[in-house]
């Protein structure tokens, strides 16, 4: 790995300023580093540079100009910039210049399944994977000469209040469905099953914490990194880590209960719903302690006023009921899934 690694966002910003911008001359355009790529979320390291990584810029132009502008830029790019090739790829993607030229509307529809410059419907929000939303609202806009990037990113920045309540409610439902499982699995001698259930709950609590803080949870590789960036998450992270390290289900449950109480407290401080008593309690008459996630889901949905949101099933956005990379990275598949799960 190169010791002189430069983060991709920094490299691409300089690439636009020193190379791509001047090559565009007087062409009206937008330029950014958004969309797929660990450097967009700021998670790239020297390891990232081994494939599909280098100086990159997305250039957005008016309709009918893509081919001409692409030729104008590609034909004059230097072979290297900042010590990195300006054309790169991998065994999955052909080598090509790191400057992509497109119209914003079609590009955004490919990423999300809809054009965020117009009205974003409830179904649009349900079908948009968190990773894609994070990619389009992170990174950086280098130039907004067409006046569309800033407005589109602002519209995607976060869910409308009632959709946010719905998403949080559905995340609490996921917790409610499995919160007794670590103890129940261990009770019948299934230690591996207890660990697996605890891991699923830890993942859901991490995602819930990010959602409470108005952060789109990234996909699995970067979930822990994104969680660690949340201010004030250290103690919750310690409880979640301890739950995964615990050698028996009772200790595992104790650490999960610490996490439950902390997350419940954050939920109540948000002011999105009537406060819910945040202590743990027995799961019916069984010897397992839980937070009672449905109590929080019901409170949140009780505060929803939008009838379009109130009538939705408590299954959530596509990330909350689907876990296939091949589905979540294809906007057409994600929209089909969201439309089918009603």
Q: Identify the three-state secondary structure at position 54.
A: coil
CA 206 → CA 42, 82, 233, distances in Å?
19, 37, 10
DSSP class of 189: T
Q: Report the alpha-carbon angle 167-138-35, nearest 5.
A: 95
Question: Each residue of 53-75: pLDDT tens digit?
Answer: 999 999 999 999 999 999 999 99
Buried b / exposed e over 308-332, threshold 16 CB at 10 Å, is ebeebebbbbbbbebeeeeebebbe
Which tokens belong to 182?
Answer: 């670590």
User: Could you give the CA distance from residue 66 to residue 106 in angstroms, rounded to a whole number?
Assistant: 12
- pTM beyond 0.85, yes or no: yes
DSSP class of 217: P
The reported pLDDT for the residue numbered 3 is: 56
Identify the helix (H) or strand (E) that includes residue 7. Answer: none
Identify the helix (H) or strand (E) that includes residue 330. Answer: none
The segments of the chain whose pLDDT lies below 50 read 1-2
User: Could you give the CA distance from residue 206 to residue 291 in angstroms, rounded to a whole number?
Assistant: 15
User: Could you give the CA distance from residue 252 to residue 319 in angstroms, rounded to a whole number?
Assistant: 26
The reported pLDDT for the residue numbered 340 is: 95
The reported pLDDT for the residue numbered 331 is: 95
């Amino acid at each position: 790995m190169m010791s002189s690694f430069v983060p991709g966002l920094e490299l691409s910003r300089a690439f636009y300023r020193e190379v791509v911008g001047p090559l565009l001359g007087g062409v009206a355009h937008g330029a950014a580093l958004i969309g797929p790529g660990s450097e967009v979320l700021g998670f790239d390291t020297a390891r990232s540079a081994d494939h599909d990584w280098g100086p990159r810029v997305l250039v957005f132009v008016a309709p009918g100009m893509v081919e001409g502008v692409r030729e104008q830029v590609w034909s004059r790019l230097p072979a290297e910039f900042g010590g990195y090739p300006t054309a790169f790829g991998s065994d999955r993607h052909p080598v090509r210049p790191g400057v992509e030229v497109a119209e914003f509307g079609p590009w955004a529809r490919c990423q999300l399944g809809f054009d965020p410059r117009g009205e974003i419907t409830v179904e649009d929000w349900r079908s948009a994977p968190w990773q894609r939303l994070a990619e389009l609202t992170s990174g950086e806009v280098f130039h907004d000469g067409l006046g569309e990037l800033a407005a589109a990113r602002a519209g995607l920045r976060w869910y409308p209040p009632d959709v946010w309540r719905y998403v949080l409610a559905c995340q609490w439902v996921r917790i409610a469905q499995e919160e007794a499982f670590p103890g129940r699995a261990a009770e019948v001698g299934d230690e591996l099953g207890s660990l697996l259930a605890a891991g699923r709950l830890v993942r859901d609590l991490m995602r819930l914490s990010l959602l409470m803080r108005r952060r789109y949870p990234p996909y699995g590789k970067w979930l822990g990194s994104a969680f660690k960036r949340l201010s004030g998450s250290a103690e919750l992270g310690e409880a979640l880590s301890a739950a995964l390290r615990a050698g028996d289900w009772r200790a595992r449950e104790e650490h999960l209960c610490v996490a439950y109480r902390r997350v419940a407290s954050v939920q109540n401080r948000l002011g999105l719903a009537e406060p819910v008593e945040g202590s743990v309690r027995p799961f019916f008459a069984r010897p397992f302690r839980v937070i009672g996630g449905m109590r929080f889901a019901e409170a949140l949905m009780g505060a929803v006023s939008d009838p379009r949101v109130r009538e939705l099933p408590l299954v959530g956005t596509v990330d909350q009921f689907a876990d296939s990379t091949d589905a979540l990275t294809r906007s057409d598949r994600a929209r089909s899934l969201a439309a089918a799960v009603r």
